Amino acid sequence: MKQIAILVSGSGTNAQKIIEHFANSEKANISVVISDNREAYALTRAQNLGIEALALTRADFRSGARPLAELRKRDIDLVILAGFLSLVPKCLIEAYPDRIINIHPALLPKFGGKGMYGDHVHRAVIEAGKSESGITIHTIDEHFDRGTIIAQYTTPVSSDDTPESLATKIHALEHAHFPHTIESYIDKITAMDNQKRLLLISNSTTAGEPYLKYPIGNIAQFLQGVKEVAFVPYAAVTFSYDAYEAKVQERFDEIGIKVRSIHRDADPAATIRQAEAICVGGGNTFALLKKMHEQGVVEAIRERVEAGVPYVGWSAGSNVCCPTICTTNDMPIVQPASFGAVSAVKFQINPHYLDTHPEGHAGETREQRILEYIEANDGMWVAGLREGCMLLVESGRMELIGARPMRMFRKGTETFEVNPGDDLSFLL
């Protein structure tokens, strides 16, 4: 069941309709209503309907850290903007790519942007002499009233309409169509989540063994039927992309799969969008993500993963599948445009996780560093994925493969171990 948060600024009639629509749903649960306005009547509506109501400040939303923490603590899957007037901060958009939905009281793209809300937008439609107006339900990006349009519904504009009378027509459209459009979108993202196919490997090489020797059998089974993979070599720093491609190809020759490195193509993102499978190699995570952002590969991989295209990543390649790369072990030798990554999973991975503390070493252990991360990132799970282990995601399930347990961290939860065969649904 998907967990939903509704963000509001005003009276909350749309929020109420959404809460009522999902009251007995087996698909989704309204977990919390959050406002940037402590006086918003929407908070009272939520409480009256038995839903948690939380008042934050506009300063909180400008920063983004507090609302993101509140969403993570509640394991939110989908965020609905129902009359929310603040600009959604970048960190929320990165944490919930294509998982934040807004409703706009006019037909985009023309009647959108800053200041286009309430009577202002209805007056603009009337003054433009339009014969119809409507609502637009869309995902969001960093700009007001942008993103992918999910659905639009229209109503006639009469010659004698005023901003107030047009607002009444628009509210009727919102109440009639917003809840069921959300439900349809939930069906879509649930289907995408269920068709994700990921093999996230802690490390490429076991000490004393050849490169990729230990996981190649799992890779072969996972990529059964695949003839060619698009390979992302951008984590290579002290050796060339050509050399990296050749190194991976040597191992993949054993399983009859051709490796095509995307650095050879003029449009690497287009190569990803046409690939039958994707592999992302280890190395320096910061170098990897920087180049992925520059080439538009982050979004391309996210789209393909959601379409069910198999993804294999090892070390840094596992890191970039997470919401961010903040739990990498690597030195930040370059600065990516953002730490935001593919978000193919909802949790963070620390590959190469180690329990040992070398004798005479006075620095932090791996566990201490992860504890620092979860202190600053309330609500986020971190999986300490030990070497020789991997996570398999298929058919809406996750499985730990390997001979060693995985160590789990989350603020407010006592650190614990999960073993191969244990239920990992809490991470999905």
Active site residues: 315, 330, 352
With H, G, I as helix, E, B as strand and everything else as coil, classify residue 335: coil
Q: How many angstroms separate the CA atoms of 230 and 418, rounded?
A: 32
Enumerate long-range contacts of 64-68, CB under 8 Å, 24 or more apart: 64/89, 64/90, 64/91, 64/92, 65/91, 67/7, 67/34, 67/92, 68/92, 68/95
Tell me the DSSP string of 24-83.
Answer: T-SSEEEEEEEES-TT-HHHHHHHHTT-EEEE--HHHHHH-HHHHHHHHHTT--EEEESS
Amino acid at position 156, single letter: P
Burial of 378 (0-12, 13-18, 19+ CB in 10 A): middle
The first and second tokens of residue 110, run together, are 């023309």
Q: Which residue type does 260 have?
A: R
